[in-house]
A and B are shown apart, each in its own frame.
Chain A
């Protein structure tokens, strides 16, 4: 009897990932402060995994570190510490040549389709460029066929091939960016706010294209967005980030429908509802997300948290499970489960 080897269901594994950007203070300060160089803790100990064929969302406010995390996973930034494994390999330990070959497996889609397309290349060449860089396809005809297939998969009419970016609408440009990303048939795509600049009626089309790529081609996504409605629509699992750390991670139903971390609840309660007279209950919060240079001791959300106690201001909580797939970084994660505490929290709203 042969032993069948199941492929590891986890495609991407990230453990204790850190990215610090040292502050360039002036010479004078540097002289007297010597070794104690301060840094922006953009990503500060992030652990999660992405399974094959799923869309994992990173959500949070500006400055939460979601884009930096995405840049590391797209191999565009080197982490300061921690591990990043893609199919069990750490791409940052590969040689340059090996890493180039590796890059084919991961692609990225950026927010601004007006800035990420070369204005001098028409659509066909834009989408063909990755094939040429990686020397894929034996003939020009073969490449052209791949380009056509990618354009169709991105929902673009084929006659757009010889158009230039300025002739396209925002939605079309973002579809070109998607076509350029999928022409290499990557396993994994980091999509960083891919629909934030698009109008609502166009945005849904671009999201549906990505969901179809996931469904029909098995592409795995890391989907970064500040918009929780968009995140809910796109993602199987969602991580809520705050100041470089994950506060809560779980399935869409768990994080949106049954949030446990006070920050997640505050974030969700701030989203306006497109139903007049819905009577949304806000949970009030003081202040704004602070800078990631001088982090408070203990839980980094404690200074703004309506529930914080002494423990929260001293000990940083780890991301710990409270149910299958559902992780929360809060000392109150268990207490928060008790109904009476929930009532108390809503009464505060």
Chain B
């Protein structure tokens, strides 16, 4: 059953600065089915948050969509006017911002803030009806209904985040975007929130975009993953495929620099250098400057094209599921010919 909810095609969103255009999101494509979760993963400044903001056209004044389309339920929403978009947001697409728990107004009761938001979008609701709807959600996200009449300072971080999830669910949207939904939370609370998000998604079958720098959160929550670097998607596909068979040197470095609690303790790799300046990105592959196995061709235009990676053979004992073609793409000239253990990040060369 495949029902495409969101299809982002060659999206370009740039910021205008006095010195030129910062190419924060540069030719980014991904798609998402109803009920699916996609993870945008990458490090600070890779464009993952900008990509999500571009999807809902919620941009700062100097942010401009300069190409591509965002097909939501088959309709290009990148061309909607602000007015049209406003009614679209929240009703159909909700977003939970990074540190959103600090977005609650400290001088109003939390429940009232949600009721106000709901009544703004559904003008026919009476106050009592709104309160009933909010109270129903309260229990759903794991909050005590009596908590509705409390102020934000009486909430812990985890409870505020639950309230924000309730706010996102208010109008029963088709797509929820979560920007680092658990980053400021302790591990036990993080786990509760993640579980809650997954549970709610199973029930409501929304599509979900999770933006995170934490590959373990992505691994546990997302069906698909887009690894971003320097404003571009460098590897894209089924999460299981990407983690089992990472093919882009950046993805490989990212996975091998993550300290896990499981498995053998091995030395973590460091990717030397700095991300590129997106005001004047280098020609060719954006990662070439830091890539230990970069070749001459990588530093020349055009950028490496997408290559399809055949599905990795599943580990022994696992059920055999043939991944459909096009489910794993890598934007690297060496895609398919470099394996994780081939790269020596410390010395910056092939092993």
Contacts and interface: CB of A to CB of B under 8 A. Distances in A.
Interface in A262-277: 266-268, 270-277
Contact of A267 (B188, B216, B259, B267): B188
A170 B244 CA distance: 30
A80 interface: no
Contacts of B188: 61, 266-267, 270, 285, 288
Contact of B257 (A203, A228, A232, A256): A203
B186 A226 contact: yes
Given A61-B187, A205-B270, A199 B43 contact: yes
Contacts, number: 114
A200 to B, nearest CB: 5
A204 interface: yes
A270 B190 contact: yes
Interface residues of A, number: 38
Interface in B180-215: 186-191, 194-195, 213-215
A201 B252 CA distance: 11
A229 B159 CA distance: 25
A122 interface: no
A280 interface: yes
Nearest to A266: B188
A289 B215 contact: no
Interface string B257-274: 111111001011111101
A103 interface: no
Contacts of B57: none
Contacts of B260: 229, 273-274
A233 B159 CA distance: 31
Given A169-B274, A208-B270, A282-B195, A271 B187 contact: yes
Interface in A179-236: 199-205, 207-208, 226-230, 232-233
Given A199-B43, A205-B270, A233 B216 contact: no
A272 B191 contact: yes
A278 B216 CA distance: 11
Given A208-B270, A230-B259, A276 B191 contact: no
Contact of B220 (A207, A227, A273): A273
B171 interface: no
A272 B219 contact: yes
Interface of A: 61-62, 169-170, 199-205, 207-208, 226-230, 232-233, 256, 266-268, 270-278, 280, 282, 285, 288-289
- Please provide the 3 A-B residue pairs with the shortest distance between their CB atoms, ordered closest to farther: A205-B270, A204-B268, A270-B191
